[in-house]
Amino acid sequence: MDESGDIKLAVEEIAELPDGRELTGHPRRRNFPSHPSDEKKLGHPCLVDEQPARIAGELFLDHADDGELVWFVNTNSGRYCRSRPPSGEQGKNVRDLFAKHMQQRVEFDSLEDN
C-alpha cells in the first residue's frame, strides 16, 4: 500500500517498468527457508517506484493445513516492515481487506511460522 493508501499488486517474478523494460525474478514458495534466488527477487520498492509505503507484503496461493487451496497474505517486507513491524491487528486488517475484496478464503501467513 503506497503512501496515499492505494494498493499495488504485481506478480513477484515479473514487473514492467514505466519505460517499458521488464524485470524478471522468481516467486517465493511457502515452507521453504529462503527465496530460491534472493539476489533476483524484485521486491516491493519496484511497485511504489522506491517511494514511501504504508505497509507491504505478499499474496500467494497455497494449500492450508486442512489441504484446501487458499490465498495467504502476510506483511513480510524487509524494506517496509523490518524497522517498524505491523501489529497483529494491522495484519488482521490486511487479511480482512483482501478477504472482503476477493470474496474467497484468505489466511494470514507469517514466514517466521514456517
Residues in the chain: 114
pTM of the model: 0.66
In this prediction, residue 97 has a pLDDT band, given cuts at 50, 70 and 90, of very high
In this prediction, residue 80 has a pLDDT band, given cuts at 50, 70 and 90, of confident
Give 28-73 pLDDT, tens digit per residue: 555 555 555 455 556 677 778 888 888 888 888 888 889 898 999 9
Integer Rg of the chain from CA: 14
